[in-house]
RNA sequence: GGCCACGUGGCGGAGUGGUUACGCAGCGGAUUGCAAAUCCGUCUACGGGGGUUCGAUUCCCUCCGUGGCCUCCA
């Protein structure tokens, strides 16, 4: 079975072939770290984690490089840093803010069962590469300097708009572009902009300033996925100046990814920045657009207080990554029920191999809902179910740890045990009325019972758990 | 205004030009002292209207609805 991925560039599902057959290179746009990440931010992180795991499964763990950047220079970050750290030098202030925020992000996504990417470069550590890229673009006639800014000249690149399938005419018809006086063309976008004294800034041939948003991804992918593999400024082999997969949210298609492509392709002289462009769909909350004004802006951190990370992960993967998701409490409850069942079913399972049907489903453009259906089909084969679940990033808990994630509320375990013993005694005496009364009493405490027999002695035994 | 997605049974959610998705819930049965858990079985569907076709949920057009991008955004 071969891996097929939907490519936004061609709007079709294509057979995936890495440029280097023995090594896959993937770049995903990471978080802008100025505040807690919300559940929408979690979607690409989880989706591309599954792809990372699948690629490692297919090509081998040492044959995949997954880069997810950290955007730690941005006007929202600047504003937050100035608010929170007044009087601190700006570059230092944003570093402090972004260190903290990224730490929160890491904790969140680890709880969601996501592997650490191979590399997590920070924009502020690649400013020199950004400057070098911009210099190259200016030297090659694709960019120009104006009033302390460096700007990419969009009309210089005939292929501009290919990813978003948008012609320059369409864009001008939209007429929502910022027309600054120093722009040669309304569509030109900023590569570098000047910083005031209280804004973070770095030296450059165009004066002290900071990068535009898009250039950082061109620089970091160049530094992590192209140069270490033989490409770069000194290389004029287009294939060496290309990597395999670039991912992110669908909202990034335009302008962010379009501009990344423009910068990288024009600077490195390659017709393609990445071969495959993948974009995850958007998320709504309880049927409504998530927004701070509606009050339904929900962070990963908040959700993790009430729900196991694996419940959030499973809830995300029940839907195909390109489909819209409606994120609901009801959905999370159902996800939890299913995982409860699988944790119970795999409690005694050994290390299982991964069922081909699951890999096959995932290999069809990451069809996780299909994979979930296959998982249900493995319900009676604990080892196979466990193996497939682990491939997907589940079963990080032991069964006991998992069970303990149900809020135990104020249940007194010793008292529950006493009541259960009393009930067992009553039942043994065939006093079923008393036994049922005790069961009702426990139910009122939120405790549900599961009766069984000891497989060795045949004696009745009762286990219990707290139901919400 | 321009461009682009999506709309499947009570709910979640795949897929397909003619054949059971799957799960949750429900219902029926087995089991149980009665239940719970488990196992077996089972009902409900493809937004509206046209068209193409022997036949469309699946292709085309259109309408309605929801969402995205065009400005920061996963």
**Which of A 27-86 have CB under 7 A of nucleic chain B?**
29, 31-32, 38, 40-41, 43-44, 71, 74, 76
Q: Indicate if CB(A367) is under 7 A from strand B.
A: yes
Query: Which of the nucleotides lies closest to A315 (Cα–C1')?
Result: B12
Judge whether A339 and A310 are in contact, CB under 8 Å.
yes
Name the closest residue (CA) to the C1' of nucleotide B21.
Answer: A373
CA/C1' separation A358–B64 (Å) = 38
CA/C1' separation A313–B25 (Å) = 22
Distance CA(A419)–CA(A427), nearest Å, equals 12
CA/C1' separation A451–B32 (Å) = 9
Q: Indicate if CB(A253) is under 7 A from strand B.
A: yes
Distance CA(A315)–CA(A327), nearest Å, equals 8
CA/C1' separation A95–B70 (Å) = 33
The string of DSSP codes covering A406-427 is: S--TT--HHHHHHHHHHHHHHH
CA/C1' separation A280–B58 (Å) = 24
Query: Which of the nucleotides lies closest to A321 (Cα–C1')?
Result: B74
All residue ranges of chain A with pLDDT < 70 are 1, 170-179, 408-410, 467-468
Q: Indicate if CB(A297) is under 7 A from strand B.
A: no
Helix/strand/coil for A290: coil
Q: Indicate if CB(A445) is under 7 A from strand B.
A: no
The string of DSSP codes covering A206-266 is: T-SEEE-TTHHHHHHHIIIIIGGGT-STT---GGGG-EEEEEEEGGGIIIIIHHHHHHHHH
pLDDT of residue A440: 86
Q: Indicate if CB(A416) is under 7 A from strand B.
A: no
Which nucleotides along chain B are within 7 A of a protein C-beta? 1-6, 11-15, 21-25, 32-40, 66-74
Q: Indicate if CB(A465) is under 7 A from strand B.
A: no
What torsion do the CA atoms of A38, A43, A45, A46 make, to the nearest 10 degrees?
120
**Which of A 198-227 have CB under 7 A of nucleic chain B?**
213
Digit-coded pLDDT (tens) for A68-90: 999 999 988 999 999 999 999 99
Q: Residue A176 — φ and ψ, nearest 5°?
A: -115, 35
Distance CA(A446)–CA(A415), nearest Å, equals 13
Judge whether A153 and A144 are in contact, CB under 8 Å.
yes
Task: Parse chain A into domains and list their residue ranges.
Answer: 4-283, 307-403, 413-466
Q: Indicate if CB(A436) is under 7 A from strand B.
A: yes
Query: Which of the nucleotides lies closest to A344 (Cα–C1')?
Result: B37
Q: Indicate if CB(A460) is under 7 A from strand B.
A: no
Digit-coded pLDDT (tens) for A172-218: 655 555 567 888 888 899 999 999 998 999 999 999 999 998 999 99
Query: Which of the nucleotides lies closest to A178 (Cα–C1')?
Result: B71
Query: Which of the nucleotides lies closest to A249 (Cα–C1')?
Result: B74
Q: Where does A4-283 sit in CATH, by number?
A: 3.40.50.620
pLDDT of residue A202: 95
């Amino acid at each position: 079975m071969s891996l097929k991925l939907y490519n936004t560039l061609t709007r079709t599902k294509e057979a995936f072939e890495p440029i280097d057959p023995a090594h896959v290179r993937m770049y995903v746009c990471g978080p802008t770290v100025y505040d807690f990440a919300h559940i929408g931010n979690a979607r690409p992180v989880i989706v591309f984690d599954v792809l990372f795991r699948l690629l490692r499964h297919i090509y081998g763990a040492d044959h995949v490089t997954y880069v997810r950047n950290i955007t730690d220079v941005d006007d929202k970050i600047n504003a937050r840093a100035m608010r929170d750290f007044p009087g601190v030098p700006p570059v230092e202030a944003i570093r402090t803010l972004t260190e903290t925020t990224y730490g929160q992000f890491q904790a969140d996504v680890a709880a969601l069962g996501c592997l650490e990417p191979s590399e997590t470069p920070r924009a502020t550590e690649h400013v020199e590469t950004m400057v070098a890229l911009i210099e190259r673009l200016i030297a090659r006639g694709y960019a120009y300097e104006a009033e302390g800014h460096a700007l990419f000249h969009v009309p210089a690149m005939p292929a501009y708009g290919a990813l978003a399938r948008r012609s320059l005419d369409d864009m001008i018809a939209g007429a929502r572009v910022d027309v600054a006086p120093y722009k040669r063309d309304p569509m030109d976008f900023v590569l570098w902009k000047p910083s005031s004294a209280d804004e973070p800034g770095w030296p450059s041939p165009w004066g002290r300033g900071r990068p535009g948003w898009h250039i950082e991804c061109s620089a970091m992918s160049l530094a992590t996925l192209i140069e270490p593999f033989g490409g770069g400024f000194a290389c004029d082999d287009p294939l060496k100046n290309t990597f395999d997969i670039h991912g992110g949210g669908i909202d990034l298609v335009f302008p962010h990814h379009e501009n990344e492509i423009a910068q990288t392709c024009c600077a490195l002289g390659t017709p393609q920045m990445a071969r495959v462009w993948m974009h995850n769909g958007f998320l709504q909350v309880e049927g409504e657009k998530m927004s701070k004004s509606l009050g339904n802006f929900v962070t990963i951190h908040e959700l993790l207080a009430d729900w196991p990370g694996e419940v959030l992960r499973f809830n995300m993967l029940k839907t195909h990554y390109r489909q819209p998701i409606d994120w609901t409490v009801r959905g999370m409850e159902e996800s939890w029920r299913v995982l409860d069942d699988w944790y119970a079913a795999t409690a005694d399972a050994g290390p299982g191999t991964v069922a081909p049907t699951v890999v096959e489903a995932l290999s069809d453009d990451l069809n996780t809902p299909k994979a979930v259906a296959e998982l249900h089909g493995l319900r009676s084969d604990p080892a196979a179910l466990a193996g497939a679940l682990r491939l997907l990033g589940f079963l990080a808990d032991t069964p006991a740890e998992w069970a303990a994630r149900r809020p135990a509320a104020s249940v007194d375990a010793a008292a529950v045990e006493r009541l259960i013993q009393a009930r067992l005694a009553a039942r043994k005496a065939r006093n079923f009325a008393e036994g049922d009364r005790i069961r009702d009493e426990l139910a009122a405490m939120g405790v549900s019972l599961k009766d069984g027999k000891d497989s060795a002695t045949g004696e009745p035994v009762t286990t219990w758990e707290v139901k919400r």
